[in-house]
Chain A
Amino acid sequence: MTGEWRKSGNGYLRLRISGGSIERFLNLCSANGLEPWDLQAEDGCVECSMGLRPFRLIRPLARKAGVHMRIVGRYGLPFFIYRNRKREGAVCGLLAFAGLLYAFSLFVWNITFEGNYHYSRDTLMGHLETLDIRCGMRKSGISCEDLEESLRSTFPEITWVSASVMGTRLIVRIKENEVLSSVPEKDDSPCELAAARSGTVTRMVVRQGRACVSVGDRVEKGQLLVASGLSVKNDAGEVIRTKYVRADADVYAQTDYSYRVEFPRFCRQEIPTGRVRREYLLMAGMFRARLQIPAKGELAEGLYDGAVSFAVWLAGMTGLDRILAIPAQEKTETFWKETDQMHQLCLFEDFFLPVYWVETESDEYTFYERSHTMEEVRSAAARAEEKYLENLCEKGVHIIENNVKILEYGAGYLIEGTVKAEEEIVSARSVEAPETPGEE
């Protein structure tokens, strides 16, 4: 492909070679490195293509081989320019286009982030906004070093950043820290452990502190499990002072959970009618052009109500409906689901332009109300149960038993579930350690 472009860019000729010894001429050409291409033999002549520079060098070879050459075609950019030298309008248009491209190339029209997982694009774009870096600004106004420095200092999880302007695109490549940036400090302040949930204690291991409950006890939420204060006694067995420690224990209890999900009796069944409406929106700066293509048969079936609706449709075609705020006339028993896809005009890999087009594909759906089948209710109950148990498992709760009941009532169904589980129920609670009296 590059070779074709080069041939066209430099210009080439189509030659008809006749008389003398054509084969000798072709051998002389290849021996001198002046290779013609696309050779075709017909009626004792040979037609071939040749670049302008080799053509200036082959005359002695043609004389030597005794062949006659006739130019039958001139192709490529030099000849195109020569042929169109008197078309001022075209030349002006071409120059204006080139000027416009050059003017656009001075600005940034696209900002791309690569390698960001922790920080979203919106977060990073928000930060760029604070630095006055946005799409449409001059490329010369962007200091990549300052931008890198600012990103590194603002976002501590970013360990490496590289910003570069390529074409009309600002590319910010980021590497984020994948390990903890700081080790949490160990808290040694005194605290006691209380029950985070009500339940029956099944097992407990106390490493520090004084156990206030034992295995088999029923505890309520907020009840003290392990106390912080330890009594220090003298040889006579008298308490001389209380030492407050940071209580540390594993206390597991059997707990009960219950959940309730309401499920309506009726549902809306949506069925695609097969009609597809397409809409194209072109945006270039303040300019907006919209082309709406109605679904097949939409006009013919009178879905748009007569002439008024046709006017609405026409307004939709031209984009006037948005300016005049004309509502679309549509059937009430159907609705449309839209899927938008936005594209930005990109001439080359990094040469973005401020021209966007949005393709909207709308599928028409009709609907009716129907009651849920028992199969659907059971499957909804299973889904609710699965979701609830998944949430519990994520919290580290061990499920022992679970039951689900489906109750029917006037407006629908009630899905009730009970779960018996075992989990750690400790919750640290800081204690105010009174001033320790001096040892007597």
Chain B
Amino acid sequence: MFDGIANRAADALHIPMQVIPGEPEISVSGRKSVYIENYHRIECFREDEIRLRARTCRIVIRGKRLNIPYYTKEEMLVSGQITAVELEGG
């Protein structure tokens, strides 16, 4: 309900979607690293898969030798040999 109102308001006011609270922001730098903002929690951490829960979806990063150089409550950097970044669910 609130998401729908927020989305419509942002659309009407031409506000970028990035500033809507809770939406995850994902930046992929080639195959080497992925930078994620606004994630909620870590669900799974394996060397071939990292699953993160965001407010609106689940982020799945697949690859080889995945590691997390740093992470905080809101942001995380994943590096390694990345093969896929998927968004699951709603």
Which A residues are within 8 Å of any B CB, using their own CB?
22-23, 26-27, 30-31, 33, 35, 37-42, 46
Contact = CB atoms under 8 A, between A and B. Distances in A.
Contacts of A39: 45, 67-69, 71
Interface residues of B, number: 15
Contact of B47 (A23, A30, A42): A42
A23 B43 CA distance: 6
Contact of B72 (A22, A35, A41): A35
A46 B41 contact: no
A91 B69 CA distance: 35
B10 interface: no
Contacts of B66: 41
Interface string B51-68: 000000000000000111
Interface of B: 41-47, 66-73
Contacts of B68: 37-39
Contact of B42 (A26, A33, A38, A42): A26
A39 B67 CA distance: 6
Contacts of A40: 47, 67
A139 B75 CA distance: 50
Given A31-B73, A41-B67, A46-B45, 19 more contacts: A22-B45, A23-B44, A23-B45, A26-B71, A27-B41, A30-B72, A30-B73, A33-B73, A35-B72, A37-B68, A37-B70, A37-B71, A38-B68, A38-B69, A39-B68, A40-B47, A41-B45, A41-B66, A42-B47
Nearest to B49: A41
A26 B70 contact: no
B55 to A, nearest CB: 15
Contact of A41 (B41, B47, B70, B71): B47
B11 to A, nearest CB: 32
B37 to A, nearest CB: 14
A332 to B, nearest CB: 62
B58 to A, nearest CB: 13
B67 A30 contact: no
Contacts of A26: 42, 45, 71
Nearest to B73: A30
Nearest to B44: A23
Contacts of A35: 70-72
B79 to A, nearest CB: 10
Contacts of B67: 38-41
A41 B47 CA distance: 5
A22 B44 CA distance: 9
Nearest to B42: A23
Contacts of B47: 40-42
A38 B76 CA distance: 11
B46 A41 contact: yes
Contacts of A31: 73
